[in-house]
């Protein structure tokens, strides 16, 4: 089957990491568009009809997952603000290489690598920036460094018969999100959520429906997207304090009032991260440290992106604005929507 023929509906698409919020949304959208979806993750998903359980660190399981697939959308990753480099390497770098080689050997034509803008964020403000080149030597934190190395490995394999694109959704959030929304709500409820530099840093984010839609468009527009890295956002930069306050109101908890200097939080984050790692696995299994240097940089440094190339290449625009997303968040958590 030619690549052009595979752009039609009814493709056989493997989605890794489908037990997560974004992976699940991508798998659901693909099914709604008429594709035949197989999922690959470590734990079973409710209602899944075609899934392979296993880890990216198990080559045999990976080969079973890609068998017979036309395309792969790869979201599975170790996502954490802290942890050992070995763990990030095993899943994010070696696991991605295993999946790439297995997919290519199995005859898959297209591979969407879901990356992160952090692969090209080196601690300095990003204001209206393009995607930038992934750099594992300069990216901040083990997650970003490992994703940068994996992205470079993926794009290096782009070819006429095995097309690869990297889609970098930025700060994805929505109802049921445990990575950002529910941590913000929980920490605000317990009074453990200060703003850094008054929450003035301008950042862009991506509502979950928009992120899933753009990732699927990456597959559908592979003829134009392959060989590229594209950052995905809502295109609505806002002060981080405003966004956090909106999430808190939607979650029915008080917005933070305490402000801490960003330089102080960055220094404290470095110390806390080292102490957290030294405490051993009992902390790492259950929670993230309250602050790391990477997190402090993200909360106190501007990072928003020029979306013109992304929207042109993908022929795509976000369908759900920030305010509408906050309304949906309030409906889910029983809080207050914008304007109420």
- Token look-up 């970098």 returns 168
112 beta partners: 73, 165
Of 143, 276, 304, 305, the catalytic one is 143
Phi, psi dihedral angles at 144 (to 5 degrees): -65, -40
CB 95 within 8 A of CB 57: yes
Task: Name the region of 236 (left: φ>0; alpha: ψ -120 to 50; beta: rest).
Answer: beta
Residue of 79, 15, 94 lying closest to 284 (CA atoms)? 79
CB 300 within 8 A of CB 203: no
The tokens for 26 are: 């991508």
Distance CA 183, CA 211 (A): 20
3-state secondary structure of 138: coil
Among this protein's residues, is 143 annotated catalytic? Answer: yes
Residue of 220, 216, 239 lying closest to 319 (CA atoms)? 216
Burial of 85 (C-beta count, 10 Å sphere; 0-12/13-18/19+): exposed
Distance CA 14, CA 207 (A): 23
- Token look-up 């405490």 returns 279
Residues annotated as catalytic are 143
């Amino acid at each position: 089957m030619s690549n052009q023929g595979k752009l039609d509906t009814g493709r056989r698409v493997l989605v890794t990491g489908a037990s997560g919020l974004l992976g699940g949304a991508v798998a659901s959208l693909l099914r709604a568009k008429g594709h035949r979806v197989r999922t690959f993750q470590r734990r079973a998903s409710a209602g899944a009809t075609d899934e392979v359980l296993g880890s990216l660190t198990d080559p045999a399981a990976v080969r079973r997952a890609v068998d017979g697939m036309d395309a792969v959308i790869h979201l599975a990753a170790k996502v954490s603000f802290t942890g050992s480099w070995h763990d990030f390497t095993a899943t994010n770098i070696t696991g991605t290489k295993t999946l790439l080689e297995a997919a290519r050997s199995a005859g898959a034509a297209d591979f969407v690598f879901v990356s992160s803008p952090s692969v090209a964020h080196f601690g300095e403000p990003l204001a209206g920036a393009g995607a930038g080149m992934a750099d594992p030597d300069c990216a901040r934190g083990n997650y970003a460094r490992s994703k940068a190395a994996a992205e470079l490995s993926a794009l290096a394999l782009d070819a006429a018969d095995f097309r690869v694109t990297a889609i970098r959704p930025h700060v994805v959030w929505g109802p049921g999100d445990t990575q950002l929304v529910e941590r913000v709500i929980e920490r605000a409820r317990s009074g453990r959520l200060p703003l850094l530099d008054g929450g003035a840093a301008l950042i862009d984010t991506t509502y979950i429906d928009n992120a899933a839609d753009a990732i699927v468009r990456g597959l559908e527009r592979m003829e134009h997207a392959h060989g590229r890295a594209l950052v995905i956002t809502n295109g609505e930069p806002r002060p981080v304090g405003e966004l956090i306050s909106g999430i808190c109101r939607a979650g029915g908890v008080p917005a933070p009032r305490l402000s801490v200097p960003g330089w102080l939080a960055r220094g404290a984050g470095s110390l806390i991260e080292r102490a957290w790692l030294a405490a051993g696995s009992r902390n790492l299994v259950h929670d993230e440290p309250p602050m790391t240097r990477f997190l402090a940089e993200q909360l106190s440094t501007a990072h928003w992106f020029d979306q013109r190339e992304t929207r042109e290449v993908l022929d795509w625009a976000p369908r759900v604005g920030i305010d509408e997303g906050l309304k949906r968040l309030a409906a889910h958590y029983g809080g207050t929507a914008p304007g109420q």
